[in-house]
Amino acid sequence: MSAKKIWITDTTLRDGDHAMSHKYEVDQVRRIAQALDEAGVPVIEVSHGDGLGGSSMQYGFSIEEEEKYLRAAAEVIKRGRMAFLLLPGIGTRHDLERAAKIGAKVARVATHCTEADISEQHIKMAKDLGLDVHSFLMMSHMTSPEALAGQAKLMESYGADCIYVVDSAGAQLVDEARQRVRALRHALEPKTEVGFHAHNNLGLAVGNSLVAIEEGATRIDGSACGLGAGAGNTQTEALVAVLDRMGIETGIDLFKIMDVAEEVVYPIMRQRHVPRIDRGSLTIGYAGVYSTFLLFAQRAAEKFGVETRDILVELGKRKMVGGQEDMIIDVAVELANQAKSKPRRAEARA
């Protein structure tokens, strides 16, 4: 492995927001951001799980105003840089400008893996505001490496500084992750960085991140304690430990980031949700379903008396993606109705 320095972005305060059911308190955001910064994390992402403007009926309401979270983190991040996520169609120009004014330095503009063209306006806005732009190609298992590289070239042409292969479903096997990162690295200009964002639904988050580094990725996402959607993300402290053993520099103090996870993040996440590879999250990885669907599917299963796993499998068959959360209820209702009709059909045959 030729990499000498890897830049880690910690997503505890963004992807972790999904696992926390969008119930972060402002003081919790402040404490986590400060602890991550003191541990030497270079980029700390802060926003609703679905990005700026995501607090809504569709995606789940935060308990505080978005601006309060951003300001709390900006006040304590001294060494690193604050980032935010923005999905075109959810976040607006006003949201982007406000985040930059508050102190964000990195804009992470995300689209579905086949819809890079909708990111042009937001990438260019962010560049005009002087931000670094890291673009996301989400659910990247749903298209070929070659097609993914073509989408990445579009984002590069709009001005993106780094383009991420995003395994939103935690569905990619090792070779699948390798092929996608390799395709981007070969297609993009040398000055354009490649990143990788994993979910651990198949237990491959750290392994796939290492494969991404082997293929030229220089930016890797993680979250403390793995706090994130589904079975969680690449565990920041575990990744730092592995890279340290490999002689790859991250600039993060290993023992400090271990303490952040154990003493700051874990006590908070225990109040809401501890991600793990359970039946539901494993089904997400197996079926290739958006990781953020897990808690929605669990709630729908309980409400309509069906199995979470059955909902997730059906969503996978229908190739549902982020933004189609309303379909989770529809699927749960259909499954419940099917279950009710089975006894009647059996009686009719008798």
**Mean pLDDT confidence for 131-151:** 98
* Active centre residues (catalytic): 18
pLDDT band, residue 324 (cuts 50/70/90): confident
Taken in order of first residue, the domains within the chain and their CATH numbers are 7-269 (3.20.20.70), 292-349 (1.10.8.60)
Helices 308-317/326-349 angle, 10° precision? 110
Query: In the prediction, which pLDDT does 273 show?
Result: 87
Indicate the average pLDDT of the chain. Answer: 94
User: 28 forms bridges with which residues in the sheet?
Assistant: none
- Is the pLDDT at 162 greater than 80? The verdict is yes
CA-wise closest residue to 163 among 198, 133, 201? 133
Q: What is the pLDDT of residues 110-123, one digit of tens each?
A: 999 999 999 999 99
**Mean pLDDT confidence for 10-23:** 97
Q: What's the CA gap between 89 and 105, in Å, rounded?
A: 21
Q: What is the pLDDT of residues 267-321, one digit of tens each?
A: 999 888 899 999 999 999 999 998 888 888 888 889 999 999 888 998 888 888 8
Query: Is the separation of the CB atoms in 91 and 53 below 8 Å?
Result: yes
